A and B are shown apart, each in its own frame.
Chain A
């Protein structure tokens, strides 16, 4: 067994300097070198109890893959991860490891946890850079499965089902595959070439992708069964963006984070001469404190904003975004207005000139200061308005990043598909089975906005359950 090195600290991730990266869309984190990866791997205690594995939503055999890295068998390490995860290069970049595997790492008790995510990314990137042996489609067993949505849940389910021998077709509403990986997460955090590679791998394995096909509109779930699909997996994502319901949200310059990020990421509005417009420059406030809020703020800065604020009603401690994203945002000059809540978005209105081009555009936002009350039953301290604390900030653009509600398109056209009070599809947690026979679901369409890895895990779980269901059906 390789020796454990107790003398070195967690190896830092090489990143491009804030000055260099804050105005472009190239990837921020550069990835470990082989030396850094070997050093970091040597910090792993290879605990027999493997607490890290229990922290991983898809239970990757973490000590096993790190041991392979210690041995210099990087491809072997990749294969270990790939047993449990379909998207290692993606998850190594976007997983909130500090709340998952790394939160359980024994090394984290006295010093810092092993950088599991960075090691995952290292082996995945090495694997992807290598010349590929051609993936041959597994011989088709004659049964067809339909997957709705090509985000992390759909891609994971498609990959597993294809490897089990099913004919798999993925239906995507947009013109590009990848779901949130394409429209939501910006290039500088997840290069689209990585997403494309994952999709191309699936295509090589025989998975068919039909873009521009909206299930619930172009075709219904029932029509998929009529067409000969014997099982359906719904991984359609979260859907409708939430707004606060305050005055001024209809003004020009108010975006949902979904719209702002889609314009920049999917429609490539960040390029020099895009066909799709986006507001660039000026003063921007992003309302919310999750990863999506951080992404929107950092995109706004890169598009040339002179000032970008994060407006969040709780304090730094409660920010739901990944620590690393918050740190990167701070380094890039994003200003955090904490314990602050908007009460009204203010608009420009020139009463003397109805044709003034600025009429109807955002001019600012009225906010109140908040304080945190006693913790509720979940332990979260709920914010309360401080009386008389109102103030105004000058703005040109407001981006609402306060979550999404499930999309009604599939639910409203699929009879017998049960949803909960919030509109999420109800499933058996162990199998992903819905109230309709042969229909399975997973990811944000079930849970509401969550993480890439949990969606991927749900896709894998459902793929196994679909396999079992179709075998038992015979």
Chain B
């Protein structure tokens, strides 16, 4: 059992929890993920490491309430326990050989982007962060990004905060204005990452994307997290859990990944409704 030592709501649907897991905290690195189960017979869900404290032996994860499991997870408070918490899984984000980086985060993906920005900033890398949200009330981690970025641009789709528009707008302006980066690292919704790669491609800058597909074991056993890379016209199957989650954005077949991410959409909607109904009944 793994104790939740701290819980914080970042916006109405995004929650951060800090969990006691000393063995995971010992070796976790930015870009890696964990798999947790809330309760016995619960679903295994992968969540990327948002922060870790080796001394306190804790790992923080940030999640958005999107389905039955994340809803149940959101109901756990400080002092409550998670049934399982395994990791760190996947390969850490590569941080070598970078002097100047642009980090592009979208929505809850910013939670994953932050530790990478933090690590690079700590290494003396010049960090430009572009973070985007749908509207003002969904903005998260602005102060945290401010602290680890040489430049921070906040975007909202509806213009209710920061600049209006999506993250590709300032990215494109910078690149067209002659700014260069050794690497662009982007984390967020698949469609956003796809458009970030399309934006950077004409400028020949390496673009790394962080994939977060459906998976079960996270150790390379089930193959559910597979995605296709297209390398020199050849399709190659990779497993996000052991080969990733970071991939060369120019090789990822995003259209397939988007379809695969919707495999259990109907099931999830029903499960979410069922979980909510069940809890409503318990309240009565």
Chain A contact residues, CB within 8 Å of chain B: 173-175, 183, 211-214, 217-219, 237, 239-241, 243, 245, 249-253, 255-256, 258-259, 262-263, 266-268, 273-277, 357, 359-360, 407-409
Contact = CB atoms under 8 A, between A and B. Distances in A.
Interface in B36-63: 37, 41-44
Contact of B216 (A237, A243, A249, A263): A263
A219 B22 CA distance: 12
A174 B89 CA distance: 12
B84 A212 contact: yes
By Cβ-Cβ distance, the 4 closest A-B pairs, closest first, are: A360-B259, A212-B86, A256-B223, A259-B222
B260 A250 contact: yes
Interface string B180-223: 00000000000000000000000000000000000011011111
A286 to B, nearest CB: 15
A241 to B, nearest CB: 4
A213 B253 CA distance: 32
Contacts of A357: 265-266
Given A175-B86, A218-B24, A360-B259, A249 B221 contact: no
A152 to B, nearest CB: 16
Contacts of B27: 217-219
A277 B220 CA distance: 19
Contacts of A240: 220-221, 223, 239, 242
A201 B128 CA distance: 57
B43 A275 contact: yes
A217 B88 contact: yes
B41 A360 contact: no
A210 to B, nearest CB: 9
A175 B219 contact: no
B191 to A, nearest CB: 13
Contact of B259 (A237, A239, A252): A252
Contacts of A266: 216
Nearest to A280: B267
B44 A175 contact: yes
Contacts of B87: 214, 217-218
A243 B223 contact: yes
Chain B interface size band reads 35 or more
- Counting chain B CB atoms within 10 Å of each CB, which of A173, A183, A263, A276 scores highest? A276
B107 to A, nearest CB: 21
A176 to B, nearest CB: 9
Given A212-B85, A212-B86, A217-B88, A175 B37 contact: yes
Given A218-B27, A218-B88, A255-B223, 15 more contacts: A211-B86, A217-B89, A240-B239, A241-B223, A243-B237, A252-B259, A252-B260, A266-B216, A267-B44, A268-B41, A277-B268, A357-B265, A360-B256, A409-B220, A409-B242
A360 B259 CA distance: 6
A173 B219 contact: yes
Contacts of A359: 259
Contacts of B217: 173-174, 183, 262
A212 B87 CA distance: 7
A241 B259 contact: no
B219 A407 contact: yes
Nearest to B69: A275
Interface string B138-160: 00000000000000000000000
Interface stretch (B161-169, B171-179, B224-232): B224-232
B83 A175 contact: yes
A213 B88 CA distance: 9
Contact of B271 (A245, A250, A267, A275): A275
Interface in B254-281: 256, 259-260, 262-268, 271, 274
Nearest to B264: A277
Contacts of B24: 218
Contacts of B219: 173, 214, 217, 407, 409
A214 B86 CA distance: 8
Nearest to A241: B223
Contacts of A174: 86, 217
Nearest to A347: B259
12 contacts: A183-B217, A212-B84, A218-B24, A240-B239, A243-B237, A250-B226, A250-B227, A250-B253, A262-B221, A277-B264, A277-B267, A360-B259
Contacts of B68: 275
A223 to B, nearest CB: 9
Nearest to A252: B263
Contact of B222 (A218, A251, A262, A274): A262
Nearest to A243: B237
B23 interface: yes
B25 to A, nearest CB: 10
Contact of A408 (B242, B260, B263): B242
Contacts of B84: 175, 211-212
B222 to A, nearest CB: 4
Contacts of B239: 240
Given A241-B223, A259-B216, A262-B217, A218 B44 contact: no
B282 to A, nearest CB: 15
A88 B156 CA distance: 63
A181 to B, nearest CB: 14
Contacts of B37: 175
A183 B89 CA distance: 19
Nearest to A266: B216
Given A173-B219, A213-B86, A407-B219, A252 B262 contact: yes
A241 B256 contact: no
Contacts of A217: 27, 87-89, 219
A407 B268 contact: no
A212 B44 CA distance: 11
B242 A219 contact: no
Contacts of A408: 220, 242
A174 B224 CA distance: 16
Nearest to B239: A240
Contacts of A360: 256, 259-260, 262
Interface in B101-123: none
Interface in B78-102: 83-89
A456 B85 CA distance: 29
B260 A239 contact: no
